[in-house]
């Protein structure tokens, strides 16, 4: 039996809620930036076909906002992982190890790497399209 199991389970549920939220923030950032890119491409194709579209307002802001949201989601995962570890140690102030912490750290690391990969991909895509 795990000592303070209910406390650890609550800590893990909180961590996973933060991770889900971070994934949603990163996905929203990706969506914002890609939709902004879609608007820019659509405006160019309309202009090429002879239709004079109105300018896309705040086109640079959409790119920056998308990248900022992806970066914020990545930072949220890193902060949630650090908080999870700190809280886990505080629950068990004695020298006792929780075996499920490795899986949670791996999950946090993978999502952080995913966020960084999305950030790099999106920044390269936007740099090429400009």
Q: What's the pLDDT tens digit per position in 50-74?
A: 766 554 454 566 777 788 889 888 9
Asked if pLDDT for residue 8 goes beyond 90, the answer is yes
Asked if pLDDT for residue 10 goes beyond 60, the answer is yes
Which pLDDT score is estimated for 107? 65
**Average per-residue pLDDT in the chain?**
78
Q: Decide: helix, strand or coil at residue 85.
A: helix
Alpha-carbon distance of 122 to 63, in angstroms, equals: 9
Which pLDDT score is estimated for 128? 61
The tally of domains found in the chain comes to 1
Higher pLDDT, residue 65 or 126: 65
| C-alpha torsion 6→9→15→20, nearest 10 | -130
Mean pLDDT of 77-106: 78
Alpha-carbon distance of 129 to 60, in angstroms, equals: 12
Which pLDDT score is estimated for 35? 79
Domain extent, residue 17, equals 5-129
User: What 8-state DSSP symbol labels residue 92?
Assistant: -
Asked if pLDDT for residue 97 goes beyond 70, the answer is no
C-alpha R_g of the chain: 21
């Amino acid at each position: 039996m795990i000592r303070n199991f209910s406390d650890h389970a609550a800590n893990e549920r909180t961590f996973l809620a933060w991770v889900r939220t971070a994934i949603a923030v990163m996905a929203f950032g990706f969506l914002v930036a890609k939709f902004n890119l879609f608007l820019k491409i659509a405006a160019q194709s309309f202009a090429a076909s002879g239709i004079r579209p109105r300018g896309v307002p705040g086109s640079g802001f959409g790119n920056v906002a998308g990248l900022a949201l992806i970066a914020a989601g990545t930072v949220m995962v890193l902060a949630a992982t650090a908080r999870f570890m700190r809280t886990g140690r505080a629950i068990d102030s004695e020298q006792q190890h929780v075996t499920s912490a490795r899986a949670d750290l791996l999950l946090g690391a993978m999502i952080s790497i995913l966020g960084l990969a999305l950030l790099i991909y999106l920044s390269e895509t936007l740099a090429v399209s400009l």
